[in-house]
Amino acid sequence: TLTAPAPFADETSCQCQAPHEKLTVAQARLGTPVDRPVRVYADGIFDLFHAGHARALMQAKTLFPNSYLLVGVCSDDLTHKFKGFTVMNETERYEALRHCRYVDEVIRDAPWTLTPEFLEKHKIDFVAHDDIPYSSAGSDDVYKHIKEAGMFVPTQRTEGISTSDIITRIVRDYDVYARRNLQRGYTAKELNVSFISEKKYRFQNHVDKMKEKVKNVEEKSKEFVYKVEEKSHDLIQKWEEKSREFIGNFLELFGPDGAWKQMFQERSGRMLQAFSPRQSPNSSPTRGRSPSRSPSPPWVINKASPPSSPKAASASLSSMSEGDEDEK
């Protein structure tokens, strides 16, 4: 488990004590010798350390089953002399390499061209680099003598990413990055821009802020309108449901066959019965009634009108006597 950055070669006491016997690539791929790892060296400028650098170092680290990766980083003086100005200074580039997980040791102020003395000092078995001829310092390929000695192992370049590509992006979009840093508090002097350019960049920043605010307002307005439409649709739907429910209840109560009509008819009938009760029967019991019926109570007195004449009185008496005889 990695818990600390890779050490610098000139500050470490860990030196390879085993005899440095020359190895072939075939022997190294078999994992020999068993008493020490294969020491692989990779060098470069490593300005603006990026994924392409890390992938190259990963390949160098995994070339052999048991390897120890030393990485040489050239100083600012040497780099500016043979290649050009760097974005990061040498201290920043050294520290970037120390924190790469594939690096076991960093060699500061590495030579531009590898000498036998340098290879022997650091007990280097193989040198890893991409196979494209690297012309520099008056040579068509600075790794030519390493290849001839059988100590060169190639790695693959990562297309689409390089330090030059990153610098090209910054130069191409210079105004964007200048405005970005002005907005973050950097001064025009620090950015090396003129007074007029500074005012122009700041004005453009204000315009961009206004555009962003207008965009946010438009988005919020669209969202508000959408919510209002959604709420309106829900309200209309609920209103329609309530309206149908109200109309149905109204018809059920006041319709042609509604409950209100039936209740009104029932009450009207009760009122009519209350105002005009049924008449009791006027006719007296017939004479041929059933013998089972009980006779009239003795307290009932038949009030007959007095006879108007003696003949009528005699007739009534005779009829009463006949009635008595029939009953007997």
Instruction: Provide CB contacts within 8 A for 170, sequence distance 6+.
Output: 177
pLDDT in tens, 256-308: 776 766 777 777 777 777 766 565 555 555 554 444 454 555 444 454 445 55
**3 state SS of 320:** helix
Q: What is the DSSP string of 91-149?
A: HHHHHHHHT-TT-SEEEES--SS--HHHHHHTT--EEEEESS---BTTBS-TTHHHHHT
Instruction: Provide CB contacts within 8 A for 262, sequence distance 6+.
Output: none
- Region 38-48: mean pLDDT is 95
Question: What's the confidence (pLDDT) of residue 304?
Answer: 47
- Tokens read off for 7: 């050490």
Q: Of 41-45, 206-210, 276-280, 301-305, which one has max mean pLDDT?
A: 41-45
What domains can be seen in the chain, in order of their start residue? 25-155 (3.40.50.620), 163-261 (no CATH)
Alpha carbon distance 65, 32 (integer Å):
9
pLDDT in tens, 72-85: 999 999 999 998 99
The whole model's pTM is what?
A: 0.61
Alpha carbon distance 8, 196 (integer Å):
47
Higher pLDDT, 190 or 47: 47
Question: What's the confidence (pLDDT) of residue 202?
Answer: 81
Question: What's the confidence (pLDDT) of residue 214?
Answer: 85
| Total residue length of the chain | 328
Question: What's the confidence (pLDDT) of residue 321?
Answer: 47
Residue 60 has pLDDT above 60, yes or no: yes
Alpha carbon distance 39, 306 (integer Å):
163
- Tokens read off for 146: 């390493």
The residue written with tokens 């006597």 in the block is 321
